[in-house]
Amino acid sequence: MSERALSPSRLATYATCPRQYEYGYVQDVNTPDRTELYLNQGTIYHETIEDVCDATERADDASTIHERAMRVFDEKWNEHSSRDDYESNAHREYQRVENRAAIDAFFDPDGGDGVEHARQSVATEVWVTCEIDGRALHGKADNVIRTDDGLHVFDYKRNTRGVISSGTAEYLADHLDGEAHEPKRVRNAFQTATYVEGVKNEPFYEDGTTVRFSFYGLLNRTSFESTPDGYAVSVSGYPRETTDIYEDHRDTIWALIRTAHDGITGEAFAPEPFEVINEEACPDCDYREMCPERLSEEVRQ
């Protein structure tokens, strides 16, 4: 394996804008502080799922798994949730209730997907690596479960809004050709490729085993209802599988990987095509006030 293995996150930053990659990863330019709220929440539900899966035996009954999950969530919330991240105590309490409801639904003993995810888990938070055509990739898989059909890799997210689908996968080719700017969906494609191929190099993989990959949104549906005592929050989650997208668009995805990988390793950081990047990426970029390409464009205007 090459020492220059790149993560889907790094590749996706380059796909967003090569100059953004240079400032963020090469020059390590400091940017304004961003809220830690959702980062901390992600840590809480990721560590909750990891600890529950690691502690669960295949024979554990659903109620035991559920009780374990709720206990671990409370511990993780107390460990990682900071009052400073919230506008008020009420805001923090609402977020606690919402995230707790997500774990409650995921590990619901009456059919929650998390029960089987825990029972069938063979590895959590596992670093996987692969190399194709001399381009090395690596990434951390949240959970790998063994099913009757093979191995299924999951990436747990707050929700799957905007995640690549069969209806939007055609935009990958447009991004490759410079006709559109789709870095989020390109990132989803990079993640799918990394985990599907990377798991094949793990000791628990057996030759010929089918490997699937899904993003799982824990809070895909959230509803809020007032009650005499305050309010109630209901949450449900579900997966979005991208395995078929990878198979159907493999050539395009690996062309995108080669473009980003070669650009990073070759230190090619000029934004191309700049017209598209300027329109789509510059407005939200933390480095826009120091970017020579953007500043030059403003001068020309």
| Residue 196 and residue 275 in one domain | yes
| Residue 53 and residue 202 in one domain | no
Contact in structure between 20 and 9 (CB atoms under 8 Å)? no
| Residue 89 and residue 151 in one domain | no
Among 54, 88, 118, the domain boundary falls at 118
- pLDDT value of position 9: 95
Provide the whole-model pTM: 0.92
| Residue 70 and residue 151 in one domain | no
In the beta sheet, which residues pair with residue 232? 225
Among 63, 88, 118, the domain boundary falls at 118
- pLDDT value of position 124: 98
Positive or negative CA dihedral for 216, 285, 296, 26? negative
| Residue 107 and residue 124 in one domain | no
The one-letter code for the residue type at 249 is: H
Q: pLDDT tens track of the chain, all 301 residues? A: 545 899 999 999 999 999 999 999 999 887 655 556 678 889 999 999 999 999 999 999 999 999 999 999 999 999 999 888 888 888 889 889 999 999 999 999 999 999 999 999 999 999 999 999 999 999 999 999 999 999 999 999 999 999 999 999 999 999 999 999 999 999 999 999 999 999 999 999 999 999 999 999 999 999 988 888 778 889 999 999 999 999 999 999 999 999 999 999 999 999 988 889 999 999 988 888 888 887 776 544 4
Among 61, 91, 118, the domain boundary falls at 118
Q: Using DSSP bridges, classify how beta strands 210-227 and 150-157 pair: parallel, antiparallel or unpaired.
A: parallel
The one-letter code for the residue type at 23 is: Y
- pLDDT value of position 17: 95
| Residue 75 and residue 190 in one domain | no
- Residue 241: Cβ-neighbour burial (10 angstroms; 0-12, 13-18, 19+): middle
Peptide bond into 273 cis (omega under 30): yes
| Residue 98 and residue 227 in one domain | no
| Residue 195 and residue 216 in one domain | yes
**Tokens 């191309």 sit on residue:** 272
Instruction: Centre a 10 Å sphere on the Cβ of residue 38 and count the other Cβ atoms it contains.
Output: 12
84 lies in which domain range? 35-118
Q: Which of 91, 49, 94, 43 is nearest to 70 (CA)?
A: 49
- pLDDT value of position 299: 43
| Residue 45 and residue 173 in one domain | no
- pLDDT value of position 292: 85
Q: Long-range CB contacts (< 8 A, 24+ apart) of 139-142? A: 139/7, 139/8, 139/191, 139/194, 139/195, 139/198, 141/195, 141/198, 141/199, 142/46, 142/49, 142/50
Q: How many domains does the chain have?
A: 2
| Residue 136 and residue 229 in one domain | yes
| Residue 131 and residue 105 in one domain | no
- pLDDT value of position 83: 85
| Residue 40 and residue 182 in one domain | no
